[in-house]
A = this chain, B = another copy of it.
Amino acid sequence: MLEAAVERGRQVLPGVTLVRAGEPMAALLVVRSGSAKRYSVTLEGAEQIHGFVLPGEAVGLEGFASGRYTCEVSALEPLSYCRVPMRKLEQLLERLPGLRREMLRQLGQALDEAQRLRGELTQSDARGRVAHFLADLSERLARRGLSPTEFRLSMSRADIARHLGLTLETVSRALSTFKREGWLRVRARDISVLRPEALAALGGGCA
């Protein structure tokens, strides 16, 4: 059923752009492995990073609004994904009530997360934001069966900073602080979380 509609996985190299802002939304993309960044480019040419796409997550859901993608998505590592053409998707939605609910669920979740993140970011200070970012990443990795305590950041400090509305220096300082406090081990882009609860306490003030 679903499998039959899905085009065989495709592979791309780091730096390759999967979708561009303004391009018609011809298909739904789901990342199989690797990671990507979602961003839009401001008038001044700066990247505004909306978030990072991990395995199992869909790309460009916000394109449903207008039928066109509203941001760019480009691979941060070698990445494989599968692709469901919109025409196929509509046929499937016609037939499968479960898939309808699933699509609404996914969109609802994306919306919920976007809001929650916005709340976190506007309320917290720099370290709180970085802690939250790490905790969130950790949780999403765990959801995919990967280690929540040992992972490698696929994005640069600058990408993290632009995502959190900070400067890369501030992100670096926050990581150094966490390291000094004994909450993390940091070696370049390799992270070991030693005290997840400390990060969660700083990052998550939500009920």
Using CB atoms and an 8 Å cutoff, list the residues of chain A in contact with chain B: 21, 40-44, 46, 48, 50-51, 61-66, 70-71, 90, 93-94, 97, 100, 103-105, 107-112, 114-119, 121-123, 163-165, 205-207
CA distance A48 to B41 in the complex (A): 28
**Inter-chain contact B111/A62, CB cutoff 8 Å:** yes
CA distance A63 to B108 in the complex (A): 6
Q: List 22 A-B contacts (CB under 8 A).
A: A40-B119, A40-B206, A42-B205, A42-B206, A43-B205, A43-B206, A43-B207, A44-B205, A50-B118, A51-B115, A64-B104, A64-B107, A65-B109, A66-B105, A70-B116, A90-B100, A93-B100, A100-B100, A107-B108, A107-B111, A114-B118, A122-B163
Copies of this chain per assembly: 2
**Inter-chain contact A115/B205, CB cutoff 8 Å:** no
**Inter-chain contact A119/B62, CB cutoff 8 Å:** no
Residues of chain B contacted by A207 (CB below 8 angstroms) = 21, 40-43
**Inter-chain contact B205/A119, CB cutoff 8 Å:** no
CA distance A37 to B91 in the complex (A): 37
Residues of chain B contacted by A119 (CB below 8 angstroms) = 40, 48, 50
**Inter-chain contact B112/A65, CB cutoff 8 Å:** yes
Residues of chain B contacted by A123 (CB below 8 angstroms) = 42, 48, 165
CA distance A43 to B120 in the complex (A): 13
CA distance A109 to B115 in the complex (A): 13
CA distance A97 to B114 in the complex (A): 27
> A50-B119, A121-B122 are contacts. A108–B62 as well, Cβ < 8 Å?
yes
**Inter-chain contact B65/A105, CB cutoff 8 Å:** yes
Closest B residue by C-beta to A124: B165
